[in-house]
């Protein structure tokens, strides 16, 4: 083990962060280790203690107390917390990257960009919290015979956040879910991912240090380790605790649907129904359409762009291109170009975990059994079972309209080229996070092309023109969501300013005196928020 890893591990205790202190490891608390993706038999020299049911209950209780004490009621305080979190993370950047590379197999360059995104979105949400306009404050003054009515968004309460395996920083312990929840006023209990426990804990300790620096209750942010025999139990205990009021998840469809079912079936302390929202981003086979004109004019360049997108991070991104629709006349040549680009890498890279690698090879085997034409669908033998060799298959649209295995996401460096003579195969598309369309200027006035774009937009949360679906810009306008099964709540986004709204509900005050109103709805309106007065936008007091 090199010195950089030794230095980083000195800050990792292997225990959860519950109300500011590591949980006391009981004799029966399950232990687990962090293993290298390159060598699953090689573990870090530290033992992690999985959270117990008592840890989960204590964390939920501390978060609930912080929420009821209005610890995060002030937008300026929330902004200060998120900016301080960014500072604490920046101070630990070398150590976070060192552990991240060791635990995920992702390159330092890739994780460096993800680190920038993690701290950048924390600062973006800090600005949103301080500005306050995101609460959508609306005031309708009293009218003859009726009271005045005021409305705004208010936080739901403590939020549980499940970190993702493929984005350990941007969608991890202090990823977009945690940052947006804190910005909206919800304390966070983060469930660390067992695939990179050291990386997640180091980030969690930076967040906990920021909470102390800003002078907030320690229940504002907490971290639970999960791994080994009780990994699924920790998640279930967390969702079922009646003090948790919302859940954020990024991962597989099976995991997201299981958590959503738990949230819907939940009971409170009196055994009464108490369902809560679960916001699950579950990945997708992001469709790409290449028109005949685009394939003829720049097929080689488009193939190069798509190959780079498919191969990036060994294909382990929820926005990777998965289904590529090309007109029949151009499909064969485009398939050959893309196949050659995907075969260029001579060595398959390690995938995030052996389980993810096994699922990747299972999906490729299902495609082989379906009778699809294929360029390269590697067998999982020996050490290749933990690696992801690129794969490309070709199918005719008419042949796969009824084959579900051809339409599902393949999580890894693989794609399916669909030869389509018309738009019929697009009708079978499932909800996706992103859709891309490559076209030429002449296509823009073609009614069939316009109809195709509308059909694609109806199935996606983000529509990319002449570009790959990978690459999510963190900005106010971004949408990272989409129709089911990409997400279970299609009208929400996990990225961008609107991500804060998931953790809230609208509350209306009627005929309330100023002393009872939150600052955003008071007559002096100190935050200068836009609101509606008798249907007209205004700024300032009512």
Annotate 165-177 with DSSP letters as a single string.
Answer: SS-TTTTTTTSHH
Say what the pLDDT of residue 98 is: 96
d(CA 139, CA 529): 11
Residue 540 confidence (pLDDT) = 40
Give the whole-angstrom CA distance, residue 373 versus residue 416.
Answer: 10
Check if the beta carbon of residue 223 is closer than 8 Å to that of residue 17: yes
CB-based contacts of 69, cutoff 8 Å, min separation 6: 217
Per mean pLDDT, which range of 305-309, 344-348, 358-362, 453-457 is the poorest?
Answer: 344-348
Q: Quick: pLDDT tens for 477-517.
A: 999 999 999 999 999 999 999 999 999 999 999 999 999 99
Mean pLDDT of 51-58: 95
129's tokens: 């919290």
Is the distance from CB of 158 to CB of 245 less than 8 angstroms? yes
Q: Are 235 and 110 in contact (CB under 8 A)?
A: no
pLDDT of residue 350: 85
Its pTM surpasses 0.75: yes
- For residues 38 and 387, give the distance between their C-alpha atoms in angstroms, rounded to a whole number: 8
Lowest mean pLDDT among 140-144, 231-235, 476-480: 140-144
Mean pLDDT of 1-6: 86
82 with 150: CB under 8 angstroms? no
Output the pLDDT for position 527. Answer: 55
Phi, psi (rounded to 5 degrees) for 152: -160, 170
Reduced to 3 states, what is the DSSP secondary structure of residue 42?
coil
∠195-32-22 over CA atoms, to 5°?
95
Banded pLDDT at 41 (limits 50, 70, 90): confident
First and final C-alpha spacing in the chain? 65
The single residue listed with the structure tokens 């084959």 is 403
Of 154, 236, 163, residue with least CA distance to 193 = 163
Longest CA–CA separation in the chain, Å: 80
Do residues 521 and 139 lie in contact, with contact meaning Cβ atoms separated by under 8 Å?
yes
Q: Enumerate domains of the chain plus CATH numbers.
A: 3-24+51-282+493-501 (3.40.605.10), 286-465 (3.40.309.10), 511-539 (no CATH)
Respond yes or no on whether the N-terminal peptide bond of residue 485 is cis (omega within 30° of 0).
yes
H/E run at residue 332: helix 328-343
Work out the percent of the chain whose per-residue pLDDT is above 90.
71
User: Average pLDDT over the chain, rounded to whole?
Assistant: 89
Is the predicted pLDDT of residue 304 greater than 60, yes or no?
Answer: yes
**Cβ contacts of 112 within 8 Å, gap of 6 or more:** 97
Q: Buried (b) or exposed (e) across 156-186, using 16+ Cβ within 10 A?
A: bbbbbbbbbbbbbbbbbbbbbbbbbbbbbbb
In angstroms, rounded to a whole number, what is the distance separating the alpha carbons of residues 30 and 227? 8
Helices 176-184 and 108-131: crossing angle in degrees, nearest 10, is 10
Catalytic residues: 281, 318
Q: In which band, very low, low, confident or very high, does the pLDDT at 378 lie, cut at 50, 70 and 90?
A: low
CA distances from 512 to 139, 150, 248, 515 (A): 12, 9, 33, 8
Q: What is the token pair recorded at 312? A: 């990036």
* Cα-Cα-Cα-Cα dihedral sign, residues 44, 46, 52, 56: negative
Range name among 11-15, 33-37, 159-163, 321-325 with the lowest pLDDT average: 33-37
Is the pLDDT score of 423 beyond 70? yes
pLDDT at 538: 45
pLDDT band at residue 386 under the 50/70/90 scheme: low
Are 418 and 425 in contact, with CB atoms under 8 Å apart?
yes
Report the relative pairing of strands 504-510 and 188-191 from DSSP bridges.
Answer: unpaired
pLDDT given at position 425: 76
- Determine the 3-state secondary structure of 96 from DSSP: helix
| Mean pLDDT of the 204-232 span | 95
Q: Are 469 and 436 in contact (CB under 8 A)?
A: yes
77-131 residue pLDDT tens? 999 999 999 999 999 999 999 999 999 999 999 999 999 999 999 999 999 999 9
């Amino acid at each position: 083990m090199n010195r950089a890893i030794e230095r980083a591990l000195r800050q990792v205790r292997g225990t959860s962060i519950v109300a500011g202190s590591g949980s006391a490891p009981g004799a029966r608390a399950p232990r687990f280790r962090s293993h290298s993706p390159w060598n699953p038999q090689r573990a870090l020299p530290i033992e992690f203690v999985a959270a117990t049911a008592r840890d989960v209950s204590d964390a939920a209780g501390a978060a609930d107390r912080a929420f009821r004490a209005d610890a995060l009621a002030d937008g300026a305080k929330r902004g200060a917390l998120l900016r301080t979190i960014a500072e604490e993370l920046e101070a630990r950047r070398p150590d976070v990257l060192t552990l991240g590379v060791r635990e995920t197999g992702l390159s330092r360059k890739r994780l460096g960009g993800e680190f920038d995104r993690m701290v950048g979105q924390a600062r973006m949400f800090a600005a949103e919290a301080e500005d306050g306009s995101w609460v959508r404050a609306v005031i309708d003054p009293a009218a003859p015979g009726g009271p005045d009515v005021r409305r705004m968004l208010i936080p739901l309460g403590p939020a549980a956040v499940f970190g993702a395996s493929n984005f350990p920083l941007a969608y991890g312990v202090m990823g977009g879910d945690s940052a947006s929840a804190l910005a909206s006023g919800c304390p966070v209990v983060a469930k660390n991912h067992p695939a990179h426990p050291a990386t997640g804990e180091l980030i969690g300790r930076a967040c906990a240090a920021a909470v102390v620096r800003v002078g907030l209750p320690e229940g504002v942010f907490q971290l639970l380790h999960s791994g080994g025999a009780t990994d699924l139990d920790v998640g279930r205990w967390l969702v079922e605790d009646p003090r948790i009021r919302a859940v954020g998840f990024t991962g597989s469809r099976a995991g997201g649907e299981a958590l959503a079912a738990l949230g819907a079936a939940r009971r409170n302390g009196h055994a009464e129904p108490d369902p809560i929202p679960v916001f699950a981003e579950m990945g997708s086979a992001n469709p790409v359409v290449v028109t005949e004109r685009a394939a003829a004019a720049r097929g080689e360049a488009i193939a190069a762009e798509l190959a780079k997108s498919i191969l990036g991070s060994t294909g382990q991104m929820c926005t990777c291109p998965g289904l590529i629709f090309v007109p029949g006349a151009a499909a064969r040549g485009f398939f050959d170009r893309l196949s050659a680009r995907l075969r260029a890498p001579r060595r398959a890279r390690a995938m995030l975990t052996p389980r993810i690698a096994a699922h990747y090879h299972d999906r490729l085997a299902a495609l082989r059994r379906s009778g699809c034409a294929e360029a390269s669908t590697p067998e999982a033998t020996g050490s290749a079972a933990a690696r992801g060799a690129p794969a490309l298959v070709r199918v005719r649209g008419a042949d796969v309209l009824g084959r579900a295995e051809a339409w599902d996401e393949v999580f890894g460096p693989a794609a399916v080229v669909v030869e389509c003579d018309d738009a019929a195969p697009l009708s079978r598309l499932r909800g996706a996070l992103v859709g891309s369309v490559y076209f030429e200027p002449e296509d823009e006035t073609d009614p069939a092309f316009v109809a195709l774009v509308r059909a694609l937009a109806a199935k996606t949360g983000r529509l990319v023109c002449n570009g790959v679906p990978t690459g999510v810009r963190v900005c106010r306008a971004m949408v990272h969501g989409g129709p089911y099964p990409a997400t279970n709540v299609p009208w929400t986004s996990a990225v961008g300013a609107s991500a804060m709204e998931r953790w809230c509900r609208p509350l209306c005050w009627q005929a309330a005196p100023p002393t009872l109103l939150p600052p955003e709805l008071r007559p002096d309106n100190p935050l200068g928020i836009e609101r509606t007065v008798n249907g007209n936008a205004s700024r300032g007091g009512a």
